[in-house]
Amino acid sequence: MTTSSATISAATRHSILLLSFATFSSMAAQRICDAMLPELSRVFSVSLAQAAQVVSVFAVVYGLAQLFYGPLGDRLGKFRIVTFATLACSVGSIMAVFAATLDLLVLARVLVALGAAAIIPLSMAWVGDAVAHDHLQETLARVGLGTTLGIVGGQLVGGLLTDTLGWRWAFGFMTLLFGVVGSLLYADWRRQPAVPVVAASAPSLVRPGFVAQALIIITGSWSRIVLLVAFVEGAAGFGVLAIWASHLHRVLGLSLSAAGAIVALFGLGGMLYMAVARHLIHRFGQQGLAVLGVCLVGLSALVLGFTPYWLFTVPASLLAGFGFFMFHNTMQVNATQMAPGARGTAVSLFASALFLGQSVGVLLAASLVDRIGSGAVIALGGGVLTAAGLFFAQALRRRGDLIRLEKR
pLDDT tens, 279-305? 888 888 888 999 999 999 999 999 988
The C-alpha atoms of residue 210 and residue 71 are separated, in whole angstroms, by 6
* pLDDT exceeds 50 at position 159: yes
For each of the domains in the chain, give its residue range(s) and CATH number, in order of start: 10-196+207-407 (1.20.1250.20)
Average pLDDT, the chain: 80
- Give 55's strand partners: none
The C-alpha atoms of residue 285 and residue 125 are separated, in whole angstroms, by 22
* pLDDT exceeds 70 at position 185: yes
Q: What is the pLDDT of residue 391?
A: 93
The whole-angstrom distance between residue 131's C-alpha and the CA centroid of its chain comes to 21
Q: Which residue has the higher pLDDT, 13 or 259?
A: 259
Task: Tell me if residue 193 falls in helix, strand or coil.
Answer: coil
The C-alpha atoms of residue 223 and residue 215 are separated, in whole angstroms, by 11
The C-alpha atoms of residue 10 and residue 313 are separated, in whole angstroms, by 41
Q: What is the pLDDT of residue 16?
A: 80
Full DSSP string of 114-181: HHHTTHHHHHHHHHHHHB-GGGHHHHHHHHHHHHHHHHHHHHHHHHHHHHHT-HHHHHHHHHHHHHHH
Q: What is the pLDDT of residue 38?
A: 83
Residue type, 364: L
* pLDDT exceeds 70 at position 91: yes
Give the pLDDT band of residue 232 (cuts 50, 70, 90): very high
The C-alpha atoms of residue 335 and residue 142 are separated, in whole angstroms, by 17
For range 29-40, the mean pLDDT: 84
For range 129-157, the mean pLDDT: 70
* pLDDT exceeds 60 at position 201: no
Q: What is the pLDDT of residues 344-371, one digit of tens each?
A: 677 778 877 887 787 788 778 878 887 8
* pLDDT exceeds 90 at position 316: yes
* This model's pTM is above 0.75: no
Give the pLDDT band of residue 204 (cuts 50, 70, 90): very low
Q: What is the pLDDT of residue 215?
A: 65
User: What is the DSSP code (8-state) at residue 131?
Assistant: B
Query: Do the Cβ atoms of 328 and 351 come closer than 8 Å?
Result: no
Q: What is the pLDDT of residues 318-344, one digit of tens each?
A: 999 899 988 988 888 787 777 656 666
The C-alpha atoms of residue 82 and residue 61 are separated, in whole angstroms, by 17
For range 263-276, the mean pLDDT: 82
Q: Which residue has the higher pLDDT, 30 or 346?
A: 30
The 10 Å Cβ neighbour count of residue 372 is 11
Q: What is the pLDDT of residue 66?
A: 74
- Residue 54, judged by CB atoms within 10 A of its CB (0-12, 13-18, 19+), counts as buried
Residue 395 phi/psi, 5° resolution?
A: -65, -35
| Percent of the chain clearing pLDDT 90 (strictly above) | 23
Query: Do the Cβ atoms of 319 and 300 come closer than 8 Å?
Result: yes
